[in-house]
């Protein structure tokens, strides 16, 4: 499995697992747990969750029982909880739900009313207390990311989690190049655009590689520098296909055809978010 280097030199899997909408239906609990465990077995050790995602953290807790060392756990604090004391309380809640003592990564889910410098200050406090190992931001645009990185503690921001896929390439104009220059990997959520990536070119390329269109779209992301993809999947066949996409090498011709079908941005765009 390809690995991405964080700004402190630690390596994480370039292909992780998302948990958005997991835990919302109790009847799916065991199936979702099994899905995350299968992903871990296949090398997708980064698991992304958040306090926002209903009871997804409970699903993750069950999935990593007995194999905490196999997983790199990412969670997020809501902006409404991102004050100094609010972040501490939210982190403790997440740790309790996840049944772990320390988060590998803790993110501010999106910019809110609390000044980012206050949240960064408490992130540093949580690192010193051994409650989190790394911290970062999510859904921060170009200017918000620059501002955050200029604050005390900002140089330790380890990732910006963003909506990024073939349909939504706006960050390539300014934000993604800037993050690469700073050594801050981008964590791409909804890398398959919630199933909206429909184009004949993807099918043509997929046939060349005896793959699926979704695998081609995921491989396109995984071939980029400093990008971590976190697709969410529950069906075993989809999880196996995601893992196999990490081994799919797109040719120059493939990449040219993708560029023609999904053009890169030609000017700055508002940040896409879900």
List all residues 6 or more positions away from 81 whose beta carbon is below 8 Å from its beta carbon: 51, 87, 89, 90
R_g of the chain, CA atoms, integer Å: 18
First to last CA, the chain: 28
Pick out the residues of the known binding site. Answer: 109
Tell which residue, 190, 258, 187, has the closest CA to residue 12. Answer: 187
Element (H or E) spanning 252, and its range? helix 252-261
Annotated catalytic residue 53: yes
d(CA 158, CA 184): 6
Strands across the sheet containing 17-18: 17-18, 46-48, 72-77, 103-108, 132-138, 157-163, 186-189, 227-229
Quick check: 133 and 233 in contact, CB under 8 A? no
DSSP codes, 70-125:
G-EEEEEE-GGG-SHHHHHHHHHHHHHHHT-S-EEEEEE-S--SS-HHHHHHHHHH
E strand map for the chain: 3-5, 11-13, 17-18, 46-48, 72-77, 103-108, 132-138, 157-163, 186-189, 227-229
Pick out the residues of the known binding site for substrate. Answer: 109
Phi, psi torsion values for 188, nearest 5 degrees: -85, 110
| Catalytic entry in 53, 106, 135, 164 | 53
Report, as residue numbers or ranges, the catalytic residues. Answer: 53
């Amino acid at each position: 499995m390809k690995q991405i280097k964080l700004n402190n030199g630690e390596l994480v899997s370039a292909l992780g697992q998302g948990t958005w909408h997991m835990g919302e239906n109790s009847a799916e609990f065991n199936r979702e747990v099994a899905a995350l465990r299968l992903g871990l077995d296949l090398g997708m050790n980064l698991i992304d969750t958040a306090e926002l995602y209903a009871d997804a953290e409970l699903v993750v807790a069950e999935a990593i029982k007995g194999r905490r060392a196999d997983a790199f756990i990412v969670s997020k604090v809501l902006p409404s909880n991102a004050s100094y004391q609010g972040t501490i309380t939210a982190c403790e809640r997440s740790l309790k739900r996840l049944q772990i003592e320390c988060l590998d990564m803790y993110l501010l889910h999106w910019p809110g009313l609390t000044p980012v410098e206050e949240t960064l200050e408490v992130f540093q406090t949580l690192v010193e207390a051994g409650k989190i190992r790394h911290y970062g931001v999510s859904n921060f645009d170009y200017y918000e990311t620059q501002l955050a990185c200029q604050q005390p503690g900002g140089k330790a921001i380890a990732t910006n989690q963003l909506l990024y896929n073939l349909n939504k390439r706006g960050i390539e104009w300014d934000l993604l190049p800037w993050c690469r220059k700073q050594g801050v990997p981008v964590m791409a959520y909804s890398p398959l655009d919630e199933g909206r990536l429909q184009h004949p070119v993807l099918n043509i390329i997929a046939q060349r590689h005896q793959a699926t269109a979704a695998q081609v779209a995921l491989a396109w992301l995984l071939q980029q520098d400093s990008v971590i993809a976190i697709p969410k999947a529950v069906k075993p066949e989809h999880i196996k296909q995601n893992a196999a996409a990490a081994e799919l090498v797109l040719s120059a011709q493939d990449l040219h055809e993708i560029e023609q079908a999904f053009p890169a941005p030609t000017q700055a765009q508002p940040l896409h978010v879900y």
